[in-house]
Structure 1
Amino acid sequence: MYNKIIKNTIVAFAAFTLVQGCSKKEVIELTPEFSLDALSNPSSMKQVEEVLTGAYGSLRANDYFGSGSGTGAGWSLMPDIMSDNVYEVAAETLANSRAMADWLYNSSTGQIFNLYAAPYNTIAHANIILRDIDKFTNANNQGQANRIKGQAFALRAMAHFDLFRYFAPKYDRSSTADLAMPYIKEFTVSTSVKPVRNNNKDYYDNIFADLNQAVTLLGNVDQAVNPASGLTRPFIDRNAAYALLARVNLYAGNWADAATAATNALNGRPLATTQAAFTGMYKQTDRGEIIWNVQFEAGQSGPSFLAFFATSNRSYFRPVPDIATIAGNTGLIQSNDLRYQAYFTNVPAAGSNPVPNLAITKYRGKGTLVDGNANFIALRSGEMFLIRAEANARLGGANEVTALADLNALRAARISGYTPVVLTGAALINAIADERRREMFGEGHRFFDLKRTTRVINRGAPCGTSVSSSGSCTLAATAREWTLPIPENVLGSNNNLVQNPGY
């Protein structure tokens, strides 16, 4: 018999702390990820590890890294459609994510609640593990406990950071005035627990504490977290914990720490330098430069369906001309670049007079399949090179030499016939920003990169035309929409939460 967990055992997802009335319609199946005993009264380390499996399963949710038909993909493709990387195709769109794409959302928008809820599911799993694991830890299984516990700390930190990226108005590391989110460290089912939003400094402190715990624990484990060989790396190992630490330090402006963590993450994870290795990461035919991927098995969908319906070649969103064109000789990603073939395919638009254009097909399917079932590469070496490059460029001085070397090395690994450039100062920082736009296209970064730096979006052609009508083609630095609102039903459940400005 399948075991069940109450779907609304959450502060309306404010902190996994409020219970609403339940009925048969309010339960979700979580087996075989973990059993009810593992949730409430585990009897062994094995059952605790089952909850870890469930934590990874939660990342496949439609509103985390997975997607539904024209929806979801909150931390995979959504930040691209909310930015200037893609345009909505008027002739093919389902309009399911138009409120997000055109910044028309408010506190009652359904997708806002879904984005708010998804990471808290992962946090709940992590907190269950951390609540119970010490009960079964002894001198004989300390390595196993470290392996499980380290992953739980990393997942908890990552999920909180992902919430922060959308729902925190500012990313200032030291601010005690700016509000982040509640940092939840316990799995509690109670109507009386109503957490407040931490300030940025305290929130960052908690993220860094969890990630440093993960790095320490994952350095002393009973067995390799991921197999030494194979096509995937579906679990967070020490390299991945370092990579998460590098990413968070970049947002925090801890430049030296970001560079150091990126270097540690790259240990044994070199750049992919061939088309087969680079494309293979997304097709599960080569491990390439994967540091950590979210694994989608057969029948578990994938990130693609927010932008491209693989089985019918329908494109809801396509790359803007500034990114790539069908001719392949203009835009940031051109046909002499490994990324062009890995990311795009010529898929004509629907209709009686189809127009040749590029579709976003990096998540089209595994191998030669075109079913939209693909893994999401959450962390890889290319990002680490760019984090280290940006961190060193912002440190300035002699560090610019190292930054430029990383930029040129990445481009040489991607672009056939690349000639190294010599850049300094603002020109170097801008070049690294452009390279992040190229390298991380469709991987959940562009909206956040703009938010943490320029805070301006100017969508060029074809925004606002018959090809791609839009509510707006620009997002000003002062716009409230850089920060998502706390959902109104969450505020109704927890009157200690403060709404974001402008909503």
Structure 2
Amino acid sequence: MITKIFKRTSALVLIAAFTLQSCQDSFVNLAPEFTLDAVNNPSNMGQLEQVLDGAYANFRANDYYGSGSGTGAGLAIMPDVLSDNLYETIQTLANSRDMSNFQFQQNTAQITNIYNAGYKVISVANIVLRDVDKFTTPANKKTANRIKGQAHAIRAMAHFDLFRYFAENYDRNSTTTLALNYSKTFEISSDAKPVRLSNKVYYDEMFADINAAQTLLADVDKNVNQGFAVIRPKMGLAAVHLLKARVSLYAGLYADAIAAATAGIAIAPALVNNQTTFNGMYSEAAAGEIIWNVQFDAGQSGPSFLAFFATNNRSYFRPALEIATIAGTTGLIRSNDIRYGAYFANVNRTTEVPQALALTKYRGKGGVSNGNANFIAMKTAELYLIRAEAYARSSSPQDALAMRDLNAVRTARISGYVNEDLTGATLVNAIADERRREFVGEGHRFFDLKRTSRTLQRGSTCGIPAQSPVDKCSLTPTSREWTFPITETLTNANPNLVQNPSWK
């Protein structure tokens, strides 16, 4: 089910356009060949695959992975804004300031927008899953598996992204902690008022979708990204393994995380160890180790405007000095690291923090600085870092195996790196630092801190400039701001969406 507020505004225009692939490097055409609303249903498998493309298109929404006019990017840049990775500069126009300063409330529209963006993706996936069996025959069974498997993966992915924001903790077995509604049907009735499920039931539903996707995508007519040279705009089997590993890590199911990551590594691209290819992953010049990217074609904006507004060279949020500096000799990412050249640039230097770089990894494609870049939602390095952390956090830690994976990532990224041999808490902290290096601006840091119950402590740039208050430089593990409230807009539409206890 979907919430009443969403139905009122979007029911008849839920899917504006579903389109066919037109060429190797273009995923969604600007001129749709098939449109669908809540009244007109797909009438064959071909149209249903176009509906599936529409689900992928909805990941581009400004409050999902997209960003427009210096705001949005709910699952792309926002988790870095909320954390200790980025700080607000004097160039901002107060976009997302309430979010970065932990001043969001139950009437904050951006939270409602993130909620609705997630369920919009889910709703389209539910249409595919509702109709796919109608058109399945023995002759097209593998085609149906490919379409159905992706829909299950998409539905699990979107539910997980919402869960990360709205659940107060990630306890796999909690029957009292509230997640959200797990939507498995497409309905347009305003009478539908779904309830929030417990963490346990919600996890059960996510893993059921992931396992279904894994089974289906292992028996398909063709690779889901067949024909694409330098992009991976669809979720294939490697993406499903990564998603399972990611969810299992959050759930504390370390053996499952290790198994899923190992299965993913076996079929994923190799780690990239050279600057040109690594840069190309972010400028659509090379596929590199991309497992799944959210595709933004010409005229479809991109993920970066909340951090770097490429069209007028403004940096609304910049990397903290603890991440990297202009000198390239301090911070987690230094100039001998291929991530340094791919992620940052010394542009439009600031006066308040003159050592600060700009986060320009999503500047654009083909040398054009217009913010039209793809968002890399999954890449091979994550599989290694998930497995490393799961090894290190297991009830019987396997530090040597964890160190092997951590060294593999560092060797690929850092010129002249010499393998280390760490153990215990030192190793766990090193893996956390490596995740911070690898995923800056990729939607992980806030959730990594939340799931490990760490105190968020912002560094030397906190409080500079004045609009970034010094009393917002830390967040203890018990602070309510780790969890989004259910907004008044949502509860007014659906009273069954009870509020999180910390926000009552």
Fold shared per TM-score above 0.5? yes
SS of 1:293 mapped into structure 2: strand
The aligned counterpart of 2:256 is 257
The aligned counterpart of 2:79 is 79
SS of 2:293 mapped into structure 1: strand
Mapped contact 2:52–2:151 kept (Cα < 8 A):
yes
1:30 aligned to which of 16, 32, 41: 16
Post-superposition shift, 1:107?
A: 1.2
Alignment of 1:69-468 (within 5 A): 69-90=69-90, 92-227=91-226, 230-268=229-267, 269-349=269-349, 355=354, 357-395=356-394, 397=396, 399-466=398-465
CA deviations over 1:332-371 (Å, ceiling 9, x no partner) = 00000000000000013368x9946310000000121101
SS of 2:461 mapped into structure 1: coil
Q: What is the TM-score of this pair, normalised by structure 1?
A: 0.93
The aligned counterpart of 1:6 is none
The CA distance in 1 between the partners of 2:139 and 2:182, in whole Å, is 33
Post-superposition shift, 1:98?
A: 0.2
The CA distance in 2 between the partners of 1:20 and 1:121, in whole Å, is 11
Post-superposition shift, 1:138?
A: 0.5
Higher alpha-carbon deviation: 327-336 or 420-429: 420-429
The CA distance in 2 between the partners of 1:20 and 1:364, in whole Å, is 33
The CA distance in 1 between the partners of 2:445 and 2:464, in whole Å, is 23
The aligned counterpart of 2:28 is none
Mapped contact 1:324–1:330 kept (Cα < 8 A):
yes
Distance 1:49 1:387, change over 3 A: same
The aligned counterpart of 2:23 is none
Post-superposition shift, 1:261?
A: 0.7
Distance 1:98 1:272, change over 3 A: same
Mapped contact 2:16–2:36 kept (Cα < 8 A):
no
The CA distance in 2 between the partners of 1:211 and 1:355, in whole Å, is 46
Post-superposition shift, 1:311?
A: 1.7
Post-superposition shift, 1:37?
A: 6.8
Mapped contact 1:247–1:258 kept (Cα < 8 A):
yes
The CA distance in 2 between the partners of 1:319 and 1:440, in whole Å, is 12
Distance 1:396 1:274, change over 3 A: farther
Q: What is the TM-score of this pair, normalised by structure 2?
A: 0.93
Post-superposition shift, 1:28?
A: 7.0
CA deviations over 1:155-182 (Å, ceiling 9, x no partner) = 0000000000000001000111111000
Identity %: 57
The CA distance in 2 between the partners of 1:398 and 1:465, in whole Å, is 41
Which residue identity does 2:498 align to in structure 1? V
Post-superposition shift, 1:38?
A: 8.4
The aligned counterpart of 1:3 is none
Mapped contact 1:396–1:425 kept (Cα < 8 A):
no
The aligned counterpart of 1:5 is none
Post-superposition shift, 1:466?
A: 3.3
Which residue identity does 2:366 align to in structure 1? G
Post-superposition shift, 1:31?
A: 2.2
Equivalences, count: 487
Higher alpha-carbon deviation: 32-41 or 243-252: 32-41
Post-superposition shift, 1:229?
A: 6.0
The CA distance in 2 between the partners of 1:443 and 1:20, in whole Å, is 30
Distance 1:227 1:213, change over 3 A: same
Higher alpha-carbon deviation: 183-192 or 467-476: 467-476
Which residue identity does 2:249 align to in structure 1? L
CA deviations over 1:163-220 (Å, ceiling 9, x no partner) = 0000000100011111100001000111222111000000000000000000100011
The aligned counterpart of 1:473 is 473
The CA distance in 2 between the partners of 1:149 and 1:32, in whole Å, is 16
Mapped contact 1:293–1:378 kept (Cα < 8 A):
yes
The CA distance in 2 between the partners of 1:425 and 1:355, in whole Å, is 37
The CA distance in 2 between the partners of 1:110 and 1:368, in whole Å, is 35
Distance 1:348 1:283, change over 3 A: same
Which residue identity does 1:460 align to in structure 2? G
The CA distance in 2 between the partners of 1:46 and 1:274, in whole Å, is 40
Post-superposition shift, 1:19?
A: 3.8
Distance 1:21 1:53, change over 3 A: closer
Which residue identity does 2:468 align to in structure 1? S
SS of 1:304 mapped into structure 2: coil
The CA distance in 2 between the partners of 1:466 and 1:306, in whole Å, is 17
Mapped contact 1:346–1:356 kept (Cα < 8 A):
no
Mapped contact 2:353–2:461 kept (Cα < 8 A):
no
The CA distance in 2 between the partners of 1:241 and 1:314, in whole Å, is 36
Mapped contact 1:19–1:190 kept (Cα < 8 A):
no
SS of 1:318 mapped into structure 2: strand
Unaligned runs of 5+ in 2: 20-33
Post-superposition shift, 1:11?
A: 2.1
Mapped contact 2:153–2:209 kept (Cα < 8 A):
yes
Mapped contact 1:290–1:381 kept (Cα < 8 A):
yes
Distance 1:200 1:21, change over 3 A: closer
The CA distance in 2 between the partners of 1:45 and 1:489, in whole Å, is 37
The CA distance in 1 between the partners of 2:368 and 2:473, in whole Å, is 35
SS of 2:292 mapped into structure 1: strand
SS of 2:378 mapped into structure 1: strand
Distance 1:501 1:396, change over 3 A: closer
The aligned counterpart of 1:483 is 483
Mapped contact 1:38–1:47 kept (Cα < 8 A):
no
Distance 1:404 1:396, change over 3 A: farther
The CA distance in 2 between the partners of 1:286 and 1:11, in whole Å, is 43
The aligned counterpart of 1:59 is 59
The CA distance in 2 between the partners of 1:228 and 1:32, in whole Å, is 19
Mapped contact 2:3–2:192 kept (Cα < 8 A):
no
CA deviations over 1:120-143 (Å, ceiling 9, x no partner) = 000000100111111110101101
The CA distance in 2 between the partners of 1:21 and 1:187, in whole Å, is 12
SS of 1:447 mapped into structure 2: helix
The CA distance in 2 between the partners of 1:37 and 1:46, in whole Å, is 16
Mapped contact 1:348–1:356 kept (Cα < 8 A):
no
Mapped contact 1:157–1:211 kept (Cα < 8 A):
yes
Distance 1:423 1:39, change over 3 A: farther
The CA distance in 1 between the partners of 2:10 and 2:339, in whole Å, is 49
The CA distance in 2 between the partners of 1:166 and 1:259, in whole Å, is 24
SS of 1:93 mapped into structure 2: coil
Post-superposition shift, 1:393?
A: 0.6
Post-superposition shift, 1:502?
A: 3.1
